[in-house]
Amino acid sequence: MKKKIVSVMMAAAMAASLTACGGSAKEETTAAASAAETTAAAESGAETSAAEAGTELPNFEGQELKVSTFSFNAELLQKNVYDPFMAATGCKLIVEGGKNAERVTKIKETPENYDIVIIGDAFIADLIDQGLIDTVDSSKLSNLDSLYDNAKAPFGEQYGPAYTFNRLGIVYDKATCPIEITSWADLWNPELAGAIAIPDITTTSGPLFYYSVAQMDGLTPGKDDDAIFAKMEELKPNVMKTYTSANDTITMLNQGEISAAVLLDFSYTAAKSASDDYVWVDPTEGSYSGYNTINIIKGCKNKELAEAFVNFYISKEVQLAEAVDGVDSPVRTDVELTPEQAANFTYGKEMIDNLMLPDWAVINANKADWTTKWNELYSVQ
């Protein structure tokens, strides 16, 4: 079995830089240094640009924000977002990372412990339904007009914007996979018996995969669920793992335990450095997409500071720095990337204007029932 030595070496490193549908397996909590303790970072043009984004910000000396976010790419976020924002405002950011579902539970239990939540679409919809997300004054977001329309207010004008898009696809190892994969339907090929990993229904990408399976057969989630689960049952012989962590899934791919996996695009961006044999597939039937959002928790004591942070996060300088470093695809219309920088990102007007987005109202209304059926089907995984 052909594997590059770097694949094994990268497996451990990816735990710190990758998330997918659930984030890092280990929660990380970081108390970010105060602005006075941060050091100037000017080693790249992206770093300098991110710092310049805060030159017109008010002084918030002595104030703090508690941020709940993903665990992945913590060092790059510190460089591109946290340090420049603290240096510009004099505030202190306290950053806590973890899996989406775990973070939602914590916010529900103790919302007073958080001010900002940076999280995927399904999970912010849940927090909105629970009445835990505060409104945002769009007049305070000077950068909002520069976003693609579908990023400005994905859950209503009173809530925060999306700051990145992602899309679901298939990654396979051409050195071990017995077939060439071009479509969702190929995952049902008997030659892939026990060789694929798919996202659990409770993850960020789980509902996107559910919608993809439905769309493949002309079915409608929420109406044709029995037929969709019948199709999922036909896939079961090929499923080695239903995953909650993309980190673990990439490790399985690196170690040859699976030949293909259903993943979000940014997972492949990091995974491809492990092997030249990994192939990204935008399935011929189309790809459903999701987005990550930034919002304010209800009860935030320093709301003006929180709104400044939201606006900073979607500034051109920060969006460019994050894209250049391979962290997130930009949602601003004025961020231009080279083909190499944009590789595998959900990027550009044509792609973003034609995104296939699921109905999160349908997902949240049916998720409990889908989870029960999913667990009955894949309980042995």
- Mean model confidence pLDDT for the chain: 86
Structure-model confidence comparison of residues 12 and 348, the more confident one: 348
Integer Cα distance of 248 and 73 in angstroms: 16
Whether the per-residue pLDDT at 23 is higher than 70: the answer is: no
Looking at the chain, the whole-number percentage of residues with pLDDT higher than 90 is: 70
Nearest Cα neighbor of 273 from 14, 65, 71 is 14
Level-2 CATH architecture, domain 5-165+291-347: 3-Layer(aba) Sandwich (3.40)
pLDDT at 287: 87
Structure-model confidence comparison of residues 40 and 185, the more confident one: 185
Integer Cα distance of 166 and 355 in angstroms: 10
What would the pLDDT profile of 48-83 be if each residue is shown by its tens digit? Answer: 556 566 557 999 999 999 999 998 889 999 999 999
Helix (H, G, I), strand (E, B) or coil at 361: helix
Classify domain 167-289+356-378 at the CATH class level. alpha beta
Structure-model confidence comparison of residues 153 and 50, the more confident one: 153
Confidence at 30, pLDDT banded by 50, 70, 90: very low
| pLDDT average, residue stretch 322-344 | 93
Q: pTM of the predicted model, to two decimals?
A: 0.78
Nearest Cα neighbor of 288 from 355, 350, 231, 351 is 355
Two tokens at 350?
């044509």
Q: Tell me whether strands 29-31 and 278-281 are parallel, antiparallel or unpaired.
A: unpaired
pLDDT at 322: 95
How far does Cα 45 stand from its chain's mean position? 25
Of 3-12, 82-91, 118-127, 197-206, minimum mean pLDDT range: 3-12
Two tokens at 219?
């079915």
Integer Cα distance of 19 and 17 in angstroms: 7
Under a CB-based contact definition with an 8 Å cutoff, are residues 104 and 126 in contact? yes
- Could you give the residue range(s) of every CATH 3.40.190.10 domain in the chain? 5-165+291-347, 167-289+356-378
Of 29-38, 145-154, 211-220, minimum mean pLDDT range: 29-38
What would the pLDDT profile of 262-315 be if each residue is shown by its tens digit? Answer: 999 888 877 887 888 999 999 999 889 999 999 999 999 999 999 999 999 999
Whether the per-residue pLDDT at 7 is higher than 60: the answer is: no
Confidence at 204, pLDDT banded by 50, 70, 90: confident
Integer Cα distance of 281 and 262 in angstroms: 10
Whether the per-residue pLDDT at 259 is higher than 60: the answer is: yes
